[in-house]
Amino acid sequence: MNGRCVITVGDLGEFGVVARIAERLPQGGTVLLGPGDDAAMVRSPDGRVVVTTDLLIEGRHFRRDWSSGYDIGRKAAAQNLSDIVAMGADPTGIVVGLGLPADAATGWLDDLTDGFRDECDLVGASVVGGDVTRCDLVVLGVTALGDLGGRAPVTRSGARPGDVVAVTGRLGHAAAGLALLAAGEKGPAELLDAHRRPAPPYACGPRAAALGATSMLDVSDGLLQDLGHVAEASEVGIVLLPEAFVISESLEEAAGRLGVDPLGWILSGGDDHALAATFPQSVRLPQEWTVVGRAEAGKGVQVNGRSMAYEGWDHFRE
C-alpha cells in the first residue's frame, strides 16, 4: 500500500461557482491534491479507506425557510462524518455533489460552503472536491472518507449475548425540533437548533473502537430501528430499559406543548446522529456513554418486555 487514495470528484475549479467554493475551503494535512484537477488525492496511512455517502433533498430532508445555508452545510457534512466515526474510523475528507436552483444566491452558497468547512474542521477533515449542476431544488450528495488508523472496523454484526448496550450524544432532540417547527412553535431554541444542525459525538467513535466496542452505529433513523439492525446483523436480542434514558427539561417542555410522550422522540426520532454501541460487560465506559440496555439470546428489540416494531425514519413513507 502506498498510503494514497485517488478520488474522482468532477472538474472542481472549471466553473466559476465551483472555483468560488474551492477558494473558501482550506485543505487539511490529509489532502495531497485538492480541488482544481479531475480528481483529488487523499492520504490513507492505514491502507484501507472507509467510505459512506448520503443524499439530502430540499423539502424532504431540510427546508430553506427553516434552516440557513450554513445550517444545511453543517447538517449535510455531519450526517456523513458521523457514519465514518461509527465505524471506529477518523474522517479525512468529503466530496460534495450539489444541485442548485436559479434562486440560490451567492451569499447563500457561501454560507453553505462555510457550514461544510466548519463541520469538517471539528474532525480535522477537508472538503476535497465535488461537482455542481443546475437543479429545480437544492440537492446535496455527500461522500465522506475515513481512515481506521490500524484498528479493525466496528460493524453492526459483532454484538454478543451479555454485552451492554450504551449510547452517547443527543437522542430525540432533532425529532422534537422538527415537530415544533411543523407546529409553528418558536422554541425551545435548543430543540429547533438540534433539528437544523446535529452535534454528533465524533470523538467517541474511535475511542469506542479502542475500548473494544463489539458493534456500533450512528443513530440516524431512530434508536429502535437502528438497534434493530444490530440485533438482526448480530443475531441477538436487545432489551432496552426506558428508565435509563435521561429526558431533558427542553424535551419535557416540548412534549407538554404538543401533548406527546417525550420517550417516543428518544426511541424513534432520527437525525441526532448519536452513537449506539455494544460493549463487553468488563469494559469500563467513560462518562460520555450511558448504558441503556443489554444484548441477550433472542431476536429483535424489546422495551419493558414488549417487542417493538422498528419505528423510525422511512425514506419512502410520507
Q: For 65-115, how does the pLDDT look when each residue is reduced to its tens digit (9 = 90+)?
A: 999 999 999 999 999 999 999 999 999 999 999 999 988 888 999 999 999
Last residue of a domain, one of 119, 147, 175: 147
Q: What pLDDT was estimated at residue 2? A: 56
CA angle 53/218/239 to nearest 5° reads: 145
- Give the C-alpha separation, 81 to 214, whole Å: 20
Q: What is the CATH number of the domain that holds 139?
A: 3.30.1330.10
Q: What is the CATH number of the domain that holds 179?
A: 3.90.650.10
Does position 143 have pLDDT exceeding 50, yes or no?
A: yes
Question: Quick one: average pLDDT of 45-61?
Answer: 93
Same domain flag for 236 and 184: yes
Spell out the residues 6+ positions from residue 1 whose beta carbon is closer than 8 angstroms to its own.
44, 47
- Give the C-alpha separation, 310 to 222, whole Å: 8
Same domain flag for 104 and 230: no
38 pLDDT tier (thresholds 50, 70, 90): confident
Does position 154 have pLDDT exceeding 50, yes or no?
A: yes
Tell me, yes or no, whether 316 lies in a domain. Answer: no
24 pLDDT tier (thresholds 50, 70, 90): low
pTM (2 decimals)?
Answer: 0.89
Helices marked H in 40-148: 69-86, 106-121
- Give the C-alpha separation, 77 to 144, whole Å: 8
Last residue of a domain, one of 112, 147, 182: 147
Per 3-state DSSP, what percentage of the chain is helix, strand, and coil (rounded to 5)? 30, 25, 40
Nearest one of 31, 1, 184, 11 to 94, comparing CA atoms: 31
Same domain flag for 19 and 45: yes
Provide the mean pLDDT of the chain. 89
Tell me, yes or no, whether 157 lies in a domain. Answer: no
In sequence order, the β-bridge partners of residue 62 are 58
Same domain flag for 218 and 261: yes
- Give the C-alpha separation, 318 to 301, whole Å: 24
Q: For 163-221, how does the pLDDT look when each residue is reduced to its tens digit (9 = 90+)?
A: 999 999 999 999 999 999 999 999 999 999 999 999 999 999 999 999 999 999 999 99
Tell me, yes or no, whether 317 lies in a domain. Answer: no
Same domain flag for 130 and 214: no
Tell me, yes or no, whether 183 lies in a domain. Answer: yes
Q: Which is higher by pLDDT, 129 or 89? A: 89
304 pLDDT tier (thresholds 50, 70, 90): confident
Same domain flag for 63 and 192: no
Same domain flag for 141 and 184: no
Tell me, yes or no, whether 155 lies in a domain. Answer: no
Binding site residues, as ranges?
38, 52-54, 61, 83, 130-131, 156, 218, 220-221, 271, 313
Same domain flag for 133 and 67: yes
**Count of domains for the chain:** 2
Tell me, yes or no, whether 312 lies in a domain. Answer: no
Nearest one of 34, 75, 85 to 54, comparing CA atoms: 75
Q: What pLDDT was estimated at residue 11? A: 47
Range of the domain at 28: 4-147
Same domain flag for 135 and 56: yes
Binding site residues for ATP, as ranges?
130-131, 156, 220
Name the residue with cell 454485552.
Answer: 163
- Give the C-alpha separation, 5 to 110, whole Å: 28
Binding site residues for substrate, as ranges?
61, 271, 313
Same domain flag for 181 and 288: yes
- Give the C-alpha separation, 151 to 46, whole Å: 9
- Give the C-alpha separation, 237 to 223, whole Å: 14
For residue 235, what is its C-alpha cell? 443475531
Q: For 207-249, how does the pLDDT look when each residue is reduced to its tens digit (9 = 90+)?
A: 999 999 999 999 999 999 999 999 999 999 999 999 999 999 9
Is 156:233 a contact under the CB 8 Å cutoff? yes
Tell me, yes or no, whether 71 lies in a domain. Answer: yes
Tell me, yes or no, whether 76 lies in a domain. Answer: yes
Q: What pLDDT was estimated at residue 35? A: 77
- Give the C-alpha separation, 16 to 161, whole Å: 56
Tally of residues, the chain:
318
Mapping DSSP to helix (H, G, I), strand (E, B) and coil, where does residue 264 land? helix
Same domain flag for 174 and 116: no
Binding site residues for Mg(2+), as ranges?
38, 52-54, 83, 131, 218, 221
Last residue of a domain, one of 118, 147, 176: 147
Does position 26 have pLDDT exceeding 80, yes or no?
A: no
Same domain flag for 172 and 63: no
Is 172:246 a contact under the CB 8 Å cutoff? no
